[in-house]
Amino acid sequence: MVQTPDLPKTKLPPSTHEFAEVIHRLEAGGSMLPDTPENLMQIIGLYKAYAVPMDFYWRDLLYIAEQVFLDPFPFFKFFISQEYLDRENHYAGDNADLRIWRGIGSAHPELLAFIEKGETGKIPKLLHHLLHDRINMEFAEECMRSMLWHRKMYCPVNQFDPYLDSDEYKANADRAIKAYFQGNPVMQGLYKLFPDMFLEQCRQMSYYANLGLFWEVMAPVFFEMSDIYDEGGFKGVPDAMDFLVNGIFAIAGRPIYHHVYIRGECYEIIPKSKGFTWLYEAALPYVEAVFYRTSPFRGTKSYNAQAAQVPDKQKDFHYGILYADVFPVGTAGIPPTLLMQDMLHFLPQYLVDYYKQYCRGEEDMLIQLGISFQRSMYNVTSAVIQALRTALLYPLDDPNPKHLQANREFFEAQLSRFTREEYGMRDAARLSYVQSQDYR
């Protein structure tokens, strides 16, 4: 049963927006996702299943950004070093610089067990890799590329992206590139011939670092949410969303940087001193790029750009998880099958039992969990919307009706993104779908 949170004392007339019910829920401190026990169970279970591979994603993203860097043949970039598996999370674990979350600092035990055995058992790591019996980093790279490709998001608040075009960045990158290819005349020659290509690769590496640092925070958040749920701590979806909002503000100032380690020496391509922060330079662009936009993916449907099925402007792209068609599984894209496959390995038992009761049971669990993932990301997006509202607008219980009206206009503007008719955005948006429990 949907529970509507308490409305603020000062009342506005009901919204006439198409998603008025959702807007009223947001105004009452709720989420875009209806507050039902089933939804809470699904989103928390998925956060846990997502957190385990994410614990690998962030480590490997940083490993690639910092160690693999511009290797022209990065065949073993997913073969993360033990050092990065043991690397302590900056915000969780006993050795954290700033312990905010309670989990352990090194790689999660379930992750380590899976890396060792996978589905096929103890076989050489290379075979695990070739059989795709591993954490599929391709998904993480797809997210990173989305952020790289949809540049200039949230500018000028987001200063990370313009910095990548600055002379200072180019000079830092130049130093690192020359150091990296020291003693390699072929690559040095190529760098002289095609400097922009190398620079662009370097920018990509900076986004590897950006996303790695972003997820370093999110993984322990999701682990802790799962633990709290297991302890009976969350009473409803709004509680889970509030936890995320509080987490966002607790960690908002975390520095975003890009360091490269070449022969033991650290090259600061983006130094911490630039003051780039987690919320504005990583979280907001990530949500925009990955949840909303991404790129048309190869599903069973082909997009025809000449028939105007693909938007002219990148800001109109709508292929993210909030719009994703989870049904055609087996293709690339967001959320790609690979992520679902990753999460499938770490589902909590209560969710496995739940999925067995519906649709085709175990046979289509991949899709069922994909849809739960979609629900959980609507909740994360709700947290971001509420966080933005907190940062930029007014409290939900503000006594001033004008302030409440401003809040409403903000919420309506956010939800109107899901009602646009252009390029089939309205049909693609899953907001109306996730309002019903029957969407599985």
Partner 1 sequence: MPHAPLPIPPIPSMLSVLIWAPIIGAAAIAFLPGGENQPSRVRLGAATIAFFTLLWNLFLLLKFDITNPGMQLTEYLPWNETLGLGYQLGADGLSMVMLVLNSFLTWIAIYCSSKDTERPRLFYSLILFISGGVAGAFAAQNLLLFFLFYELELIPFYLLISIWGGEKRSYAAIKFLIYTAVSGALIFASFLGMVWLSGGTSFAYDTLTTQTLSTTLQIVLLSGIIVAFGIKIPLIPFHTWLPDAYVEASAPIAILLGGVLAKLGTYGILRFGLQLFPEAWAIVAPSLAMWGATSAMYGAVTAIAQKDIKRMVAYSSIGHMGYILVAAAAATPLALVGGVAQMFSHGIILAILFHLVGVVENKVGTRELDKLNGLMSPIRGLPLISALLVLGGMASAGIPGMTGFIAEFIVFQGSFSAFPIPTILCIVATGLTAVYFVILLNRTCFGKLNNRLAYYPKVVWSEKMPALILTAVVIFLGVQPTWLVRWSETSTTAMVATIPSVEKIASTPVAMK
Whole-number minimum distance, CB 139 to partner 1, in Å?
18
Biggest distance spanned by C-alpha atoms of the chain:
71
Considering only 246, 433, 435, 437, the residue that binds partner 1 (CB under 8 A) is 433
Considering only 326, 338, 347, 384, the residue that binds partner 1 (CB under 8 A) is 326
Looking at the Cβ atoms of 39 and 337, the one nearer to partner 1 is 337
- Is 329 a binding residue for partner 1 by CB under 8 A? The answer is yes
* 3-state SS, one letter per residue, for the chain: CCCCCCCCCCCCCCCCCCCHHHHHHHHCCCCCCCCCHHHHHHHHHHHHHHHHHHHHHHHHHHHHHHHHCCCCCCCCCCCCCHHHHHCCCCCECCCCCCCCECCCCCCCHHHHHHHHHCCCCCCCHHHHHHCCCCCCHHHHHHHHHHHHHCCCCCCCCCCHHHHCCCHHHHHHHHHHHHHHCCCCHHHHHHHHHCHHHHHHHHHHHHHHHHHHHHHHHHHHHHHHHHHHHHCCCCCCHHHHHHHHHHHHHHHCCCECCEEEEECCEEEEEECHHHCCEHHHHHHHHHHHHHHHHCCCCCCCCCCCHHHCCCCCCHHHCCCCCCCCCCCCCCCCCCCCHHHHHHHHCCCCHHHHHHHHCCCCHHHHHHHHHHHHHHHHHHHHHHHHHHHHHHHHCCCCCCCCHHHHHHHHHHHHHHHHCCCCCHHHHHHHCCHHHHCCCCCC
- Is 369 a binding residue for partner 1 by CB under 8 A? The answer is no
Whole-number minimum distance, CB 299 to partner 1, in Å?
7
Considering only 328, 332, 406, 417, the residue that binds partner 1 (CB under 8 A) is 328
> 65: closest CA among 266, 295, 342, 281?
266
Per the listing, tokens 């670092």 go with: 209
Stretch that binds partner 1, among 47-55, 234-242, 274-282, 361-369 (CB under 8 A): 361-369
Looking at the Cβ atoms of 302 and 349, the one nearer to partner 1 is 302
Whole-number minimum distance, CB 332 to partner 1, in Å?
14
Looking at the Cβ atoms of 81 and 435, the one nearer to partner 1 is 435
- For the record, the structure tokens of 308 come out as 């105007």
- Is 440 a binding residue for partner 1 by CB under 8 A? The answer is yes
- For the record, the structure tokens of 321 come out as 């998880």
Considering only 165, 168, 327, 399, the residue that binds partner 1 (CB under 8 A) is 327
Looking at the Cβ atoms of 332 and 366, the one nearer to partner 1 is 366
Looking at the Cβ atoms of 249 and 439, the one nearer to partner 1 is 439
Considering only 364, 394, 426, 435, the residue that binds partner 1 (CB under 8 A) is 364
Looking at the Cβ atoms of 129 and 440, the one nearer to partner 1 is 440
- Is 330 a binding residue for partner 1 by CB under 8 A? The answer is yes
Considering only 143, 367, 384, 415, the residue that binds partner 1 (CB under 8 A) is 367
- Is 395 a binding residue for partner 1 by CB under 8 A? The answer is no
- Is 307 a binding residue for partner 1 by CB under 8 A? The answer is no
> 326: closest CA among 337, 317, 318?
337
Looking at the Cβ atoms of 351 and 367, the one nearer to partner 1 is 367
Stretch that binds partner 1, among 39-47, 95-103, 279-287, 326-334 (CB under 8 A): 326-334
- Is 132 a binding residue for partner 1 by CB under 8 A? The answer is no
> 102: closest CA among 115, 118, 111, 91?
91
Considering only 18, 325, 388, 394, the residue that binds partner 1 (CB under 8 A) is 325
Whole-number minimum distance, CB 363 to partner 1, in Å?
6
Q: Which x/- pattern over 275-304 shows residues binding partner 1 (rule: CB under 8 A)? A: ------------------------xxx---
- Is 359 a binding residue for partner 1 by CB under 8 A? The answer is yes
Stretch that binds partner 1, among 84-92, 203-211, 286-294, 359-367 (CB under 8 A): 359-367
Distance, CA of 428 to CA of 440 (rounded, Å): 16
Whole-number minimum distance, CB 272 to partner 1, in Å?
44
Looking at the Cβ atoms of 271 and 328, the one nearer to partner 1 is 328
Note the residues at the interface with partner 1 (CB under 8 A).
299-301, 325-330, 359-360, 363-364, 366-367, 430, 433, 439-440
